[in-house]
């Protein structure tokens, strides 16, 4: 099943794996237990990416 949401608690609560997109590309792939809200938000906003 694919779940598309901008609600982080919903995504973290319902998912076993997360693919996070930023500007149309996958910016992060996470497995349950390997993610944190901070890491997901950093991937979603492009934080730490070279300009």
Tell me the C-alpha distance between 24 and 13, whole Å: 24
14's tokens:
């319902």
pLDDT on residue 17? 95
pLDDT on residue 49? 63
pTM: 0.79
Element (H, E) at 28: strand 25-31
Domains of the chain, residue spans: 8-45
Neighbours of 30 (CB within 10 A): 18
2's tokens:
């694919």
3's tokens:
């779940």
- Residue 51, pLDDT > 60, answer no
For residue range 6-50, what is the model confidence (pLDDT) as tens digits? Answer: 899 999 999 999 999 999 999 999 999 999 999 999 999 999 665
């Amino acid at each position: 099943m694919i779940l598309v949401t901008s609600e982080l608690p919903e995504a973290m609560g319902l998912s076993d794996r997360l693919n996070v997109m930023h500007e149309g590309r996958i910016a992060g792939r996470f497995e349950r237990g390997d993610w944190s809200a901070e890491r997901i938000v950093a991937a979603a906003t492009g934080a730490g990416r070279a300009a």
